[in-house]
Amino acid sequence: MARLGTSFRLVSAVSAGLWHLQGRPLYHSDTKSCISTSRTRSASACQTVRRPCVAVCGDIFMDIMAPIKKLPVWDSDVEAESVKMVPGGSALNQGRQLHSLGVPVRFVGAVGKDAIGHALLEQVSGQGFPTDSIKTFSNLPSSVCIVLSGPADRAFVSCYSTTDAFTERDLQEQAHKLEDCTHFHLGGYFNMKGLQSHDFTQFVADAKRSKQWTISLNSQACSNGHWCGEDNHLASFLDHVDLLFVNASEGEHICAALCPDSDRSISALCKRYPELMVVITQGSHGCTAYRHQMPAVYVPAKQTRVVDTTGAGDAFIAGFLSSWLPHAAPKRSEAEQKAIVDACKKGHAVASVVLGREGACVEPVRPRDLKDLE
């Protein structure tokens, strides 16, 4: 999620049992995986060390950051205070933030075999982020996003070369490295046209059944206006998704694309996908979690100093997942309601740190950065 939304017409408080991790058998630990509570270690001992290992897949960009006071028009020039080149992309931002927050991550994506791709991998690996699952396309330039960052919002100019080219076949090449993962997160969905296919849907469905993965999805803005994906892919793919992150504008567009009847509200979307929880970020107004047949959960955001809004939504997602994934709770229970609130608060805290910095993820947020913020 490259940006936090503004406002969204929330037609009704939606409800439903929110997805949960109760009974999940695979958890990563510092020493070994807890494959089952029936093993020699007791269930309580396993509980103390288990941590989710997250497979993050999605878009990678080199962001070229240019802070400006106003957008340029044709045949004119606008001065930028500086121009910086930093690793970006929704999925990469989310994966790096998760990793920095202490969640084990296996990251799958692609760059080109060029100076930009080399510089990107060198920078993120230098921060300790695992890059061994990132593919290099030898015949393509790396994807690049020019970020024109203004006082209140941003505009983007993007090249989608390697993000468009990445397919389910490239993901399958790295599947053996995801065996210890418990959760699969797809970041920047609309930037990953090569994954908007039946083969990718089948990959996710098979992993949910055989590995008991839970699945989350960040939509990202859709540059071509096809808010249902290639060949209406999103309509069928959401049947397999447990958690959808969107900002207010993205949520409105997706509802309009997937709910063709007169009711195009979040309520209608959740009714169509009763196993899906939708988390809508609403900028400085906070966030709201929805699902069919369960009251909506609204969590306000604290006021914070804003230097740059780029990457705040990605930071929120990482913070939310880092809190949510380790805490199994029965559906529709008070414990689950508390887990949602705690996850939203963690998301807000991580986002607030990013809002106070320049760039989406120049330096990922560390746990010590969150002291006194949650």
The answer to whether residue 65 is domain-embedded is: no
pLDDT tens-digit readout, 251-291: 999 999 999 778 889 999 999 999 999 999 999 999 999 98
Q: Residue 290's domain is classified under what CATH number? A: 3.40.1190.20
pLDDT tens-digit readout, 108-158: 999 999 999 999 999 999 999 999 999 999 999 999 999 888 888 878 899
Q: What CA–CA distance (Å, rounded) separates 180 from 110?
A: 21
The answer to whether residue 162 is domain-embedded is: no
Total number of domains in the chain? 1
The answer to whether residue 310 is domain-embedded is: yes
pLDDT (average), residues 234-242: 97
Long-range contacts formed by 11-14: CB under 8 A, 24+ apart: 11/263, 11/265, 11/266, 11/267, 12/265, 12/266, 12/267, 13/290, 13/295, 13/296, 14/266, 14/267, 14/270, 14/278, 14/290, 14/291, 14/292, 14/294, 14/296
Partners of 196 in the β-ladder: none
Partners of 87 in the β-ladder: 62
CB within 8 A of 146, min separation 6: which ones?
63, 64, 66, 156, 157, 158
Range of the domain at 334: 43-53+93-107+178-370
The answer to whether residue 243 is domain-embedded is: yes
Does the structure show a pLDDT above 60 at 247?
yes
The answer to whether residue 30 is domain-embedded is: no
The answer to whether residue 1 is domain-embedded is: no
Show the tokens assigned to 140: 């393509």
Q: pTM score, two decimals?
A: 0.83
The answer to whether residue 213 is domain-embedded is: yes
pLDDT (average), residues 296-315: 91
In the numeric block, the tokens 């380790």 are attached to: 326
The answer to whether residue 334 is domain-embedded is: yes
Does the structure show a pLDDT above 70 at 35?
no
Show the tokens assigned to 66: 């240019």
pLDDT (average), residues 45-58: 69
Q: What CA–CA distance (Å, rounded) separates 13 from 265?
A: 10
